[in-house]
Structure 1
Amino acid sequence: MAEDLILVTGATGFVGKWTVIQLLQAGYRVRGTVRSLAKDAEVRAGVATQTGPEVLSRLELEQADLLDDAGWAAAMKGVAAVMHIATAIRADEPKDQSLVIRPALEGTERVLRFAQAAGIRRFILTSSIATVGYGLGHTSGRRVYTEKDFTNLDGMRWKWAYCIGKTKAEQFAWAFAKTNGMDLTTIHPGAIIGPAVDQDASISIGMVSGLLAGAVPAMPSNGFSIIDVRDVAALHVAALKKPEAIGQRYLATSDYTPFSKVADVLREAYPDRNITTKQVPDWLIRIIASLGGPARQIINDIGNEKIFDGSKGEALLGRKFIGAKESILATAESALRLGLVVDKPK
């Protein structure tokens, strides 16, 4: 019911803030977790840009860290459902993969354990397409993936920390839910872009802001399934409202979009900006990926097209997801307005 109290972990994050916004707009009371209450004013200000200040009385923030038990029991008090969105996302591939894997896996274990101890049954987990379309023998050509597909970590030549952490976290969540009688739904976004509400925005916005700034000298050949952050949040709220979502996975994926298409959209909208047309050869990306670093995060998408079918999620929403072009342009507008585009010196 709309007056229920919903816990949103990671309320400072890009998806977290938009989910808080849409829950408040739907009439819910919201408790968000933050690693530091020093972020309180920033979160409230960002939320208020979309909701107005009058609804902020229904928002409270609780300090809690995914790697520490402190604060979680208090965060769960009086909560009707949990939306576990918080995770660690990095633009680089750390040499110490536990920096990403631990918050994903140990954090999910912790939040589920405290929710179960508090008697909370309804749990919505933000997962990823990384848990769906990898390690399944697809190295060339086009393949369509649905919610029935599960990433096979053992089948991957090139693993990256985010994929490992999110896959193991989802596996744990389904097993825990089954054992403890919890009502779980998982949401699987693709590359999340869309309008930022403040300067504390997702690293994926860098895909757009970097092109606008002229800081990307050349693009990889691969593409990805874009999803607008507003649709990711909307899917969380729809899953909460609709009992048929219990026990289901939902891909949050709109158009498959090559990196070059993102550049084309931006070049048309901002012809005065120096947006690259060059591409990095696939062979060079493969060499770089073998040495580690950020290329490890995209190497599994080089030389093939992974199409993630978002129709099930659209059916839950009752509408189509926002298209890639609209989302790219909304991202660009907000990035420029908020000063997230740092022009490369000429």
Structure 2
Amino acid sequence: MAQSNENTKVLVTGGTGFVGVHCIQQLLQQGYRVHTTIRSMKRSGDVIEMLRNGGISDFGTLKFIEADLTDDTNWDNAVEGCQYVLHVASPIGLTAPKDENEMIKPALEGTLRVLKAARDGGVKRVVMTSNFGAVGYSHNDTSKVITEESWTNPNEKGLSAYNKSKVLAEKAAWDFMQQQGGNMELSVINPVGIFGPALGPELSSGFQLLKQILDGSMKRIPKMTLGIADVRDVADLHIRAMISPEAKGQRFLAISGEIMTLPQIASFFKSELGDQFTHISTKTMPNWIVRIAALFNARAKSVVPQLGRYRVASNEKAKKLLDWKPRTNQEALVATALSMVQFGQIKTE
């Protein structure tokens, strides 16, 4: 397989990110030539180090381009000679910005910037990373499983700036394709919470939640639910969507299996890893206490919109059309915990 890909170039935006670096790792392993954008060339060494941790030793087919979602500079160089683009980069944060446009504007304008550069550069297909927040946050019929047919209303009450940025950016991408896309193709990946093995010490924002459970700093566990996807499977799904004819014009939910509540995750960690992490609490926090805490605590405030959120979603489309075979929730969770130990983010007993 590697030999047949040696003349195919792929741009991955956001090479320093959790998903982006896993995409680069798998593409290099499969023999592709890879361009990746980073906001500062000073970060190239960090990406190389993460890829080394992921087993990559030959970097002759990897090229770094300094580019920012908020600026036109260098995007033509980034897409030069590329048949495919994996547009993974997007601003993210656990706490809400004071002005939601700080997050929405770069996500929206950055997506259009990448699509225009890709179209003008003769790219065959762009695979864009959206998220579950663009799919399921306006789905109120709990008798039906959420599928790719669902869309979140960007004006949904309580929608975070991050999720709003994702739904607006994805809608803008589909509109662009319809009106200005030319012969270029688009596929979209909509992941739930992404966990699994980190390749470096910078934690993905979702890891912070699990870190608080593992180190015992979360004394009582809110009854929020999570859909889980392993980062290795999310990267794999991007590549499958990149090369499969069936993926043209499609969006795919990336979810490993059934949803889990945070108390279920805490119980799983305690049963599987309790010998290493002895401070795990399995005491739950009633929703009304979370709501009161939200009046004084920014982290609690960010949890409130997630309470009672319906997240039961199907991964059948990705499995059927793209032969996607995701790992279990439990594999992703254990890999997350071991990564935090490996990179010194959390200590075991």
The residue number in structure 1 matching 2:74 is 71
The residue number in structure 1 matching 2:314 is 309
Distance 2:167 2:299 in 1: 19
1:293 and 2:298 equivalent? yes
1:86 and 2:100 equivalent? no
Indicate the structure whose relative CO is greater, using CA pairs within 8 Å and at least 6 residues apart. 1
Q: Percent identity?
A: 36
The residue number in structure 2 matching 1:322 is 327
Q: Give the deviation of 1:292 after TM superposition.
A: 8.5
Q: What is the aligned length? A: 340
Letter in 2 for 1:256: I
Q: Give the deviation of 1:234 after TM superposition.
A: 0.1
Could you tell me which of 209, 218, 221 is aligned with 1:219? 221
1:110 and 2:77 equivalent? no
1:119 and 2:122 equivalent? yes
The residue number in structure 2 matching 1:152 is 153
Distance 1:226 1:62 in 2: 31
TM-score by length of 1: 0.92
Indicate the larger mover: 277-286 or 166-175: 277-286
Change (3 A) 1:317 1:333: farther
1:303-344 deviation digits (Å, cap 9, x = unpaired): 24321111212234424311111111111111111111168x
Structure 2's unaligned 5+ residue stretches are none
Distance 2:149 2:304 in 1: 23
Cα pair 1:158 1:296 within 8 Å, conserved: no
Distance 1:296 1:82 in 2: 36
Distance 1:331 1:130 in 2: 22
The residue number in structure 2 matching 1:274 is 279
Change (3 A) 1:210 1:142: farther
Distance 2:293 2:101 in 1: 22
Indicate the larger mover: 181-190 or 305-314: 305-314
Change (3 A) 1:162 1:143: farther
TM-score by length of 2: 0.92
Distance 1:296 1:170 in 2: 26
Letter in 2 for 1:293: A
Cα pair 1:142 1:305 within 8 Å, conserved: no
Indicate the larger mover: 99-108 or 231-240: 99-108
Is the partner of 1:308 in helix, strand or coil? coil
Cα pair 2:29 2:56 within 8 Å, conserved: no
Change (3 A) 1:124 1:160: same
Indicate the larger mover: 299-308 or 98-107: 299-308
Distance 1:175 1:287 in 2: 41
